[in-house]
Amino acid sequence: MGADLSKITCIEDLRRVARRRVPRMFYDYADSGSYTEGTYRANEADFQKILLRQRVAVNMEGRSTRTTLIGQDAAMPTAIAPTGLTGMQHADGEILGARAAKAFGIPFTLSTMSICSIEDVAAGTGGHPFWFQLYVMRDRDFIERLIDRAKAAGCSALMLTLDLQILGQRHKDIKNGMSAPPRPTLANLLNLATKPAWCWHMLGTRRRTFGNIVGHAKGVGDLSSLSSWTAEQFDPQLNWNDVEWIKKRWGGKLILKGIMDAEDARLAAGSGADAFIVSNHGGRQLDGAPSSIAALPAIADAVAGSPIEVWMDGGIRSGQDVLKARALGARGTLIGRSFLYGLGAYGEAGVACALRIIQKELDITMAFCGHTDINTVDKGVLLPGTY
């Protein structure tokens, strides 16, 4: 493992290893978008169109990528995004990801649709605070209990996802018959036979289904199909009144995820939330929407002067992407796939590797652009006409 990691130089390296090691249905679940996957691809490609201004003869000593996100210290302006089925990329994946984030000094966000439960992650990190992402279900008693469980676990922020009232169609999941754990079909068994390390780790854990739901939601003693349960439970009537109710029930820092329009950004700013995330759900919901980085500038301008923090996710594969997002108005960024590739490739060590890669690229690129403090970065680091 050490020899392999010593040759890992970028997130793409981790992606290639993860593709070899993770069963096809779970790799495809993470590395896919809805319908044509046009928005999914644009998230990454549009970053490449933005060019940087190189500056020279600038004192580059004493550099720092440290900042704050909703008042909480972070080693760089990046958090780990909530990702469903993380514990199917690697056994106990959410615990491993939270440990790596803790060691690195950035926030970790646990998804409602995680394999490891809120309580598992709290125990696995020694009670270190993490963030919890909430989906709103029709069963409001279950939602209230979820919020209370997050409070009891010491979560330091609640992230409410607004763009998954209904599920975007992801063709690969349908073709693969995606389920957790995988159904013992011939195709699945043949594929699992080629992933011995994944199978070995998975045999060593009891966490193989949706830990926040099974045994907690009414009448749910087993949950193999994500799509069928979400179709029944995700509430299509979610609206801004629900945000107010959730904020009151939670009582702590609140982050809204899924803003892609300036009008919605202004509503988010008026909701009393502490931050919102410019996000198209990694291109997994509305295909044909703009990339997150393309949508960011107008949205940031729409709430300029408001105390709400603007963040973004979608397509971040390098520290340069983090720098560009920061320059265009995002105080913070979140990484989903970049984190999952590291996890699927090498477990906790792979997540730590991904974070080191992103921070190193951020640090070096910031210096080449004439800055030594991430908190001073603005549009001046970008070449006019390319954003």
Indicate which residues carry an active-site annotation: 281
End-to-end CA distance of the chain: 40
Q: How many residues does the chain have?
A: 387
Residues 315 and 292 sit within 8 Å (Cβ to Cβ)? yes
Chain-centroid distance of CA 104 in Å reads 16
Which of 208, 237, 182 lies closest to 115 in space, CA to CA? 208
C-alpha pair distances (Å), 4 with each of 46, 93, 105, 345, 348? 30, 20, 24, 10, 14
Strands 67-69, 72-74: pairing is antiparallel
- Cα separation of 159 and 243, whole Å? 11
